[in-house]
Structure 1
Amino acid sequence: MDPRYSAQNILLCDLCQKAALQSHCELCQVNLCVVCVEKHLSDSSKRHSVVPYKHKTYPKCTNHSRKHCEQFCENCDIPVCSLCISQGQHHDHKAIDILQKLESKAKDLKKDLNELLQRIFPTYKEIALHIKSEKASLERHYEQLTAAVSNQGEDLHREINLIVQKQKYEIDKIKTKQLASLDEQGNEIKQKICDLTKCILDLKKILVASDVSLTFEYKSTIAELKGFPLKVNVPKPRFSPQKINTEQLSEMFGSLSPLSITTEEHGYTMKTPEAVSCLPVKPLLDEPELITIIGTGHELKSVSCLNDEEIWTRGVDSIMRLYNLCGELLHSIHSKSKDWPCNIAVTRTGDLIYSDPYKRTVNIVENKKTHELIILKEWIPYYVCCSSSGDLLITMNSDVYKKSKVVRYSGTREKQTIHFDSEGKPLFSSGYYKYICENRNLDICVADSGDNSIVVVTQACKLRFRYTGHPSKSKKSFDPVRITTDSQSQILTANNNNHCIHILDGNGQFLQFIDNCKLYRPWGLCVDSRDNLFVAECNSGKVKKIRYM
């Protein structure tokens, strides 16, 4: 065996996995030891081509077909044989052993493969999911846009119809008055004609009778009858339509913003611990600062950021309310729950999600309409969060509260169940509430109120750590009621009994308390895109915005 090759003692026969390899079958692409070569050649169904392994390891020289390259010229970045070097083609070039270069290239390949599998490929998948989500959001937006245009058209038609009805009413009113005037004069003329007809008959009778007395008694009324009545003029009204100015009509109707398609950096982070470590480091403040207090006037149980300027809240009634940072109520949604919704969350597209333990459903509010997204039969959903991939993570209890688990859903499809550890023991306590969130490194973080601990498992359902509180003399028992994470993969949990927030790093190490902002019974927690913390106080009905980094 080549002495340089003998150092590669990790290279074993592909078949027996015991003896050092010496040969290579170019047809089957397997590496063989001396014993296994004979076994391999015994298969007469193929025309095997077995060569010494070094012929496989050492590539053939492109300049000297009978020679194998045992060196690598780093200046030319090509394998070279001994003749190439002796003939002076690579004079003063740096040449190294081909196996050394091969080992280095293999490490580079593994590094690239690892980079592709763990960082680049997941990010492209996330971008693809984001595009899919954007398309769905765009479809909903254009449905709303089309509806808005239709509504505007209906409003405009309604106004035009009102104008038309008003004009018709005026026409009818004028018509009625003019016809009444003509009818009045017509009736008067008819009466005159009757009187004239009688008068004519009377005159004829006198003339026929030749009665002298009647003749002398007759008094002429011709002068009176010649006084014809005044003519009633009824000028016909005219309609003068205004010329329709399409441009002005379009301006009055409204306009669309111009088409705009721009590009920018995705800004995606690689979903690995290495990527998290590359994020800008934001040190914790020694003294967290209270920035804003938002008064709601309602007892609060949950808070969730719609964006950096608006927050959703839910309390102990059936109404979920959207506030801006000035405390103005922007919108409210009535749940279909028997009582209050158990938990709220916001999807990546801005839709509101809430759980309904009474109906055993998880609901989504899209375009102001509520739909049942997930319907359960034997389990009761409690707390829900939206993962970075768009999946839903839901904590749920069995009917008799003897079992608890976390289930991942992709849309309405159950994708993963997190229930037991590697030894088959339950990860979570029986019954009680389990508050949940996903960390930036894809860990799943659960605040288990049953055993007063934070349980963190990997995406592959392996237990990473449990946190049971900080042994501080000034703090009472650990009572986690809500949980959230930030851009640094730090975990924040509300300790209700002690009126403070615990901050842990991604490995479960305690970092700091937030207990200087006059917190009283902190309950709901969420973090915006700028790492500002929003804390919903249970009894006071206040949401406090805190800067802690």
Structure 2
Amino acid sequence: MISDESKDHKVIKYQSRKSTPLYPECKYHNSQQCIMYCNQCKIPVCKTCLASQHLSHKVSEILKVVNERKDKLIKGRGKLNETIYPTSQDIASDVQNRINKLEKEYEDLSTAITKHGEDWHREIDNFLIKLQAEVDETKDTQLQTLQKHLDEINKNISDIKNEIISIERAIEANDLSKLLRVKSHVHMYSNLPHKIAPFLPKFVPGKVQGEKFSKLFGTLSSSSLTFDEHGYSMKSSHKCPETGSSSPVKQLLDEPEIVTNIDTGYEYLINVACLSDEKIWTRGNDSTIKLFNINQGSLLKSIKTKSGNIPWDIAVTKSGVLVYTNVSDRTVNIVKNKKIENVIRLHNWTPRGVCGTSSGDLLVTMCSHDDKHSKIVRYSGSIEKQTIQYDDYRRPLYSIYTCITENRNLDICVSDNGVKAVVVVNQAGKLRFRYTGYTLAPKNKLFIPVGITTDSQSHILTTDDNNHCVHIIDKDGHFLRYIECGLREPVGLCTDINDNLFVAQWRSRQVKKIKYLVRCINV
């Protein structure tokens, strides 16, 4: 190689062989390498091409262009490896989890429908037995009456036959004394027995009409699939310190902050409901429901209940309509344009807690007139769609004094003051868990839940009047944290769209606005 001077060799170490670039050969000039790159034509060029065809074009050294391209490819590969690929894996895992969850929820839904059908079958069977028993009883009574009547007629026939025989014998004997002794009872037997005509009861079947039947049995709410192209966030190599999640979420503040206090002017304050991030409804121990501006603390509106009695609970629906329950006249009422309308009127039950759902339904907790039973009923307008009362073992789920809310995962959450627990069932009404407090409560007293709400992270928050705090648990019932913030006798509470917490305090008459979540930002 060295002795042949006709060859232009470039000698490098064997270990460095990959560091020597292999220039592309020119397609137009054999044996010439393209060491330049024409930025205008976007092609590699050799010296001859440069001098003849690309003289006026802007060119760069091909090594510089290649290195820039390599840097872009390396960055692209890094993004693919570090973010896009793992994010795609997470998305696939998330979709698979959604599939698994959806299958489970549909299974629960089918189970609930089947169970409801079994309840109907049981009621129908019991009703059939009752009707059949009435038929059998009526039949036995009428048959016994007719048989007794027949026995009387047969006895008369026997008596008549015996009298005929006696008369014939007296006539044939030609015995005057015997003839004088025989008496005829023709006049008695001429009175024929009364006629008994049985009338059967008639069965008039009720008409089974599809639409009416479906309303009686229960209906399915509408379902949908939403497609959000921005629904997923890119995975980052930095995670939230508390949750470990790679997507932006909100984490609990170490020290919740009081943003503002609002004095409501009631003798005792009981509940609060968010209309928007600027307005809240409140109710106390009188018949007035008040609307306040949050930032200014000013009273915007006052509404008197239709009955003039104290409302038991207030809530704001998905469409922003105020709804309240009234124990005295057993009604659920909505307020539209200053007009109050009874949407639900109960007879043997008394409404307690109420909340609106994401589907536009109303969930109402209620107790029986004798205060021995309690249940939840889902309404679409004034039509009953679902009843939740017992667990799988036919044990009551709830006591009498209950507040209610719906979580983001469609679980139904109830703070049950009577059994001193938060009771959570899924959308189909199947019991998920009971939360009975945490042993390290601030005052270490008995857990007595009152108000209840949820937030965008599916946390469940409930006031603990006895320990002067708010409990925060996750959607599966695990304790996360207390909020104290100097609270005294907290009762009602709610959250706004920005996850600010509003707590109504009994004696102080104040609503405290508290910030307890902060967005966890991926860097």
Structure 1 length as normaliser, TM-score?
0.50
Where in structure 2 are the equivalents of 1:412-431 lying within 5 Å? Answer: 412-429=382-399, 431=400
Equivalent pair of 1:525/1:535 in contact (CA under 8 Å): yes
CA distance in 2: counterparts of 1:446 and 1:269, whole angstroms: 30
| Among candidates 436, 440, 452, match of residue 472 of structure 1 | 440
Name 1:356's counterpart in structure 2: 326
CA distance in 2: counterparts of 1:331 and 1:532, whole angstroms: 22
Q: What displacement does 1:339 show?
A: 2.2
State yes or no: 1:403 paired with 2:373: yes
State yes or no: 1:372 paired with 2:342: yes
Q: What displacement does 1:268 show?
A: 11
Q: What displacement does 1:414 show?
A: 0.2
Name 2:473's counterpart in structure 1: 504
Distance 1:266 1:112, change over 3 A: closer
Name 1:313's counterpart in structure 2: 282
Instruction: Name the aligned partner's letter for residue 367 of structure 1.
Output: N
| Among candidates 430, 437, 449, match of residue 462 of structure 1 | 430
Identity of aligned residues (%): 54
Range with greater deviation from structure 2 (337-346 or 402-411): 337-346
CA distance in 1: counterparts of 2:426 and 2:231, whole angstroms: 18
State yes or no: 1:547 paired with 2:515: yes
Instruction: Name the aligned partner's letter for residue 487 of structure 1.
Output: S
CA distance in 2: counterparts of 1:319 and 1:360, whole angstroms: 18
Name 2:124's counterpart in structure 1: none
Distance 1:459 1:470, change over 3 A: same
Q: What displacement does 1:498 show?
A: 1.1
What secondary structure does 1:421 align onto? coil
What secondary structure does 1:350 align onto? coil
Equivalent pair of 1:338/1:358 in contact (CA under 8 Å): no
CA distance in 2: counterparts of 1:328 and 1:293, whole angstroms: 11
Instruction: Name the aligned partner's letter for residue 527 of structure 1.
Output: T
| Among candidates 476, 488, 495, match of residue 457 of structure 2 | 488
CA distance in 2: counterparts of 1:268 and 1:349, whole angstroms: 25
1:411-460 superposed Cα distances (whole Å, 9 cap, x missing partner): 1110000001111111113x3x1110001100000111111001000001
Instruction: Name the aligned partner's letter for residue 459 of structure 2.
Output: Q
State yes or no: 1:297 paired with 2:255: no
State yes or no: 1:329 paired with 2:299: yes
CA distance in 1: counterparts of 2:255 and 2:379, whole angstroms: 39
What secondary structure does 2:333 align onto? strand
State yes or no: 1:287 paired with 2:287: no
Where in structure 2 are the equivalents of 1:140-539 lying within 5 Å? Answer: 280-298=248-266, 299-325=268-294, 326-429=296-399, 431=400, 433-472=401-440, 474-515=443-484, 517-539=485-507
CA distance in 2: counterparts of 1:343 and 1:481, whole angstroms: 12
CA distance in 2: counterparts of 1:324 and 1:266, whole angstroms: 34
Q: What displacement does 1:408 show?
A: 0.5
1:56-75 superposed Cα distances (whole Å, 9 cap, x missing partner): xxxxxxxxxxxxxxxxxxxx
Name 2:188's counterpart in structure 1: none
Equivalent pair of 1:351/1:366 in contact (CA under 8 Å): yes
CA distance in 2: counterparts of 1:395 and 1:311, whole angstroms: 22
Q: What displacement does 1:117 show?
A: 10
1:125-156 superposed Cα distances (whole Å, 9 cap, x missing partner): xxxxxxxxxxxxxxxxxxxxxxxxxxxxxxxx
Instruction: Name the aligned partner's letter for residue 318 of structure 1.
Output: S
Equivalent pair of 1:279/1:488 in contact (CA under 8 Å): no
Equivalent pair of 1:443/1:458 in contact (CA under 8 Å): yes
CA distance in 2: counterparts of 1:301 and 1:269, whole angstroms: 38
1:207-263 superposed Cα distances (whole Å, 9 cap, x missing partner): xxxxxxxxxxxxxxxxxxxxxxxxxxxxxxxxxxxxxxxxxxxxxxxxxxxxxxxxx
Q: What displacement does 1:114 show?
A: 6.8
What secondary structure does 1:282 align onto? strand
1:167-225 superposed Cα distances (whole Å, 9 cap, x missing partner): xxxxxxxxxxxxxxxxxxxxxxxxxxxxxxxxxxxxxxxxxxxxxxxxxxxxxxxxxxx
Distance 1:412 1:548, change over 3 A: same
**Two-structure CA RMSD over aligned residues (Å):** 2.7
Distance 1:266 1:362, change over 3 A: farther
Name 1:56's counterpart in structure 2: none
Name 1:218's counterpart in structure 2: none
Instruction: Name the aligned partner's letter for residue 278 of structure 2.
Output: E
Name 1:135's counterpart in structure 2: none
Name 1:86's counterpart in structure 2: none
Instruction: Name the aligned partner's letter for residue 391 of structure 2.
Output: D
CA distance in 1: counterparts of 2:257 and 2:427, whole angstroms: 34
Where in structure 2 are the equivalents of 1:31-70 lying within 5 Å? Answer: none
Q: What displacement does 1:280 show?
A: 3.5
CA distance in 1: counterparts of 2:440 and 2:96, whole angstroms: 46
Instruction: Name the aligned partner's letter for residue 371 of structure 2.
Output: Y
Distance 1:365 1:496, change over 3 A: same
Equivalent pair of 1:437/1:485 in contact (CA under 8 Å): yes
What secondary structure does 1:343 align onto? strand
Aligned length: 288
Distance 1:330 1:449, change over 3 A: same
Structure 2 length as normaliser, TM-score?
0.52
1:330-378 superposed Cα distances (whole Å, 9 cap, x missing partner): 0111102342111111112211100011111100111111000001111
What secondary structure does 1:426 align onto? coil
CA distance in 2: counterparts of 1:328 and 1:477, whole angstroms: 36
Q: What displacement does 1:518 show?
A: 1.2
Instruction: Name the aligned partner's letter for residue 405 of structure 1.
Output: K
What secondary structure does 2:311 align onto? coil
What secondary structure does 1:547 align onto? strand
Instruction: Name the aligned partner's letter for residue 466 of structure 2.
Output: N
1:456-477 superposed Cα distances (whole Å, 9 cap, x missing partner): 0000111110011101164211
Instruction: Name the aligned partner's letter for residue 336 of structure 1.
Output: K
1:252-309 superposed Cα distances (whole Å, 9 cap, x missing partner): xxxxxxxxxxxxx989989xxxxxx997421111110001111112121110000000
1:11-42 superposed Cα distances (whole Å, 9 cap, x missing partner): xxxxxxxxxxxxxxxxxxxxxxxxxxxxxxxx
